[in-house]
Structure 1
Amino acid sequence: MERLMEIAKRLADVDGVVGVCLGGSRARGTHQPDSDFDLGLYYRTPLDTAALRRLASELTGESVEVTEPGGWGPWVDGGAWLIVDGFRVDWIYRDLDRVHRIWDQCQEGRFELGIQAGHPLGVYSHAYVGEVAVGRVLADPGGELRALQQETRHYPEQLRDALIANARWEVPFTLANARKGAARGDSFYVAGCLFRAVGLLVQGLHAHAGCWVLNEKGAVQAAGQLPAAPADFSARAQALFAMLGTVPDVLSAALDAADALAAEVCERLTS
């Protein structure tokens, strides 16, 4: 951790970097020995990417690709993948003014969903806020990150209500549409609808509990541990995808199971 703090301090000295936050499993304490160290670089433009490249080369002993902002797409933004002292250390850009704007939207019960490679469900905008809320601030010379973290640890009621309402109407709608694909043996379409429906239930359960969802990885398992989840939510949700084939009757059976699970979760979300 001392080495990580040193890196964070040096990053914070780069023009444009406002602060550095440890995220991912390392911040939540759910990491494995070989887990990456995800460092969120919260910045304002202009960001001195040339200085970041020099620092990356110094830390790794080799030339490292460091992107410009937006180099990895509209939501992941940009950064670099490094190997430092034998550990994977990822730098991930976050436009701090954008995070503030999204936080304002969250408090009004508004969110958006963006397409991004590596995120099959899509990136929910409030994940940006969740990263600050559950992260570990390593460098914050002006105190802005810590102040924002203190605010975001309170999950907005308006966002909670919006995500629950979204799950309650969209899940039944999605599963009803999937029936058309099931009748034709279209497992591709049915699987997509099931994935979307389970993802919406996961978002609803987390919102009900006032917990931030950062991405899809491990989200079903985490949702199953929340108070409003049926006792066997995770197992039932995962089993839906093991049932699929190309036979209409089998696809319909999977949708029957999905309807039953969705109805149970949505009923619990009203409490």
Structure 2
Amino acid sequence: MRTIIEGMAGELAGVPGVVGVVLGGSRARGEHRPESDWDLGVYYRGDLDLDALRALAGPGVEVAGPGDWGPWVNGGAWLTVDEVPVDWILRDLDRVERIWADCRAGRYEVGVQAGHPLGFWSPCYPGELALGQVLADPGGELTRLRDELGGYPEPLRAALTAGTWEADFLLAGAAKGAARADTLYVALCLSRAVGVLVQALYADARRWCLNEKGAFDVAAALPGAPAGFGPRARALLAAPGATPEELTATVAAARTLVDDTVTALRASAG
């Protein structure tokens, strides 16, 4: 299958507008299972020849153009090759480079994107390339950018760890929702607060966090996580409660978890 994927990457790189192709996801990191998808990041500049992409994808495969899947996951296609899912994911290389410059300056964005319940965190763009495997790169641009990524930017680490203020803000709102037994609002606040902590723990460890999938378990095992982070957060998210009393107790426990995480992050930073 690897040979087929490499051949496909070479064909994609020949499409007008395509700069190169990168293998991403669990396959690139060596963390895949036999049934795992093959994720191909198709990096392009300017106008992209969608007709050529559609011809390459073959009949019956819908190819979504830039913006069709939302503002951050630009577009792409879902294919099946030898009964194995293969995903093409479009990436605007000019935008990736702008986001990388932001990350080096300690700036990041969180955008609304279908399929990303905690939002799309912009450092994912350079992170995908840093953790990916370049399969096709005729002009050498992706290889040069990947080499430039190097280590995790310290300004980004500082910005994401400082972003734990949002978790405190969310819990202040959740406390009011708990008093009204507003379970949906409290649950949303709790899940996002934990997500913010996960991002901070990844950044503290100087690791790229690409999306929500599996991120919690990784964060819970990181050296900078406070004692019992995993079980405590799971308990909050699994059963926040239904009554004002139950919800209020859950929010109080969440506040303690946030405080302990912030303390651990400060200690890690020295």
TM category (shorter chain) comes to over 0.9
Residues 27-59 of structure 1: CA deviation (Å, up to 9, x unaligned): 1222221111110000012111111111111xx
Confirm or deny: 8 A CA contact 2:16 2:49 kept in the other structure: yes
Q: How big is the shift at 1:85?
A: 1.5
**Alignment partner, residue 142 of structure 2:** 145
Residue type at the aligned position of 2:56? L
Residue type at the aligned position of 1:95? D
**Alignment partner, residue 156 of structure 1:** 153
Confirm or deny: 8 A CA contact 2:124 2:208 kept in the other structure: yes
Secondary structure of 2:160's counterpart equals: helix
TM-score (norm 2): 0.96
**Alignment partner, residue 171 of structure 2:** 175
Work out the CA distance in 2 between the residues paired with 1:182 and 1:32. Answer: 41
**Alignment partner, residue 184 of structure 2:** 188
RMSD value, Cα: 1.1
Secondary structure of 1:18's counterpart equals: strand
Secondary structure of 2:169's counterpart equals: helix
Q: State whether structure 2 residue 26 is matched by structure 1 residue 30.
A: no
Work out the CA distance in 2 between the residues paired with 1:119 and 1:140. Answer: 29
Work out the CA distance in 1 between the residues paired with 2:33 and 2:186. Answer: 34
Which is further off, 146-155 or 215-224?
146-155
Matched-pair identity in %? 59
**Alignment partner, residue 11 of structure 1:** 12
From 223, 238, 248, give the equivalent of 1:252: 248
**Alignment partner, residue 53 of structure 1:** 54
Residues 43-100 of structure 1: CA deviation (Å, up to 9, x unaligned): 012111111111111xxxx321111211111001100000112110000000000000
Structure 1 consecutive aligned stretches of length 4 or more whose deviation exceeds 2 Å? none
Confirm or deny: 8 A CA contact 1:224 1:231 kept in the other structure: no
Q: How big is the shift at 1:255?
A: 1.1
Which is further off, 17-26 or 149-158?
149-158
**Alignment partner, residue 83 of structure 1:** 80
Q: How big is the shift at 1:230?
A: 2.3
Secondary structure of 2:230's counterpart equals: helix
Work out the CA distance in 1 between the residues paired with 2:99 and 2:71. Answer: 14
TM-score (norm 1): 0.95
Confirm or deny: 8 A CA contact 2:201 2:265 kept in the other structure: yes
Q: How big is the shift at 1:110?
A: 0.5
Q: State whether structure 2 residue 262 is matched by structure 1 residue 261.
A: no
Work out the CA distance in 2 between the residues paired with 1:231 and 1:55. Answer: 51
Confirm or deny: 8 A CA contact 1:243 1:250 kept in the other structure: no
**Alignment partner, residue 105 of structure 1:** 102
Work out the CA distance in 2 between the residues paired with 1:236 and 1:21. Answer: 37
Instruction: Provide structure 1 residue ranges, at least 5 long, that are not aligned to the other structure.
Output: none
From 194, 215, 219, give the equivalent of 1:223: 219
**Alignment partner, residue 40 of structure 1:** 41
Q: How big is the shift at 1:231?
A: 4.1
Cα 1:54–1:199 shift into 2, 3 Å? same
Residue type at the aligned position of 2:11? R
Confirm or deny: 8 A CA contact 2:241 2:250 kept in the other structure: no
From 237, 240, 262, give the equivalent of 2:236: 240
Residue type at the aligned position of 2:199? Q
Work out the CA distance in 1 between the residues paired with 2:229 and 2:36. Answer: 27
| Count of residues in Structure 1 that have an aligned counterpart in Structure 2 | 266
Instruction: Provide structure 2 residue ranges, at least 5 long, that are not aligned to the other structure.
Output: none
Residues 7-35 of structure 1: CA deviation (Å, up to 9, x unaligned): 10111111111010111111122222111
Confirm or deny: 8 A CA contact 1:131 1:214 kept in the other structure: yes
Confirm or deny: 8 A CA contact 1:105 1:111 kept in the other structure: yes
Confirm or deny: 8 A CA contact 1:15 1:47 kept in the other structure: yes
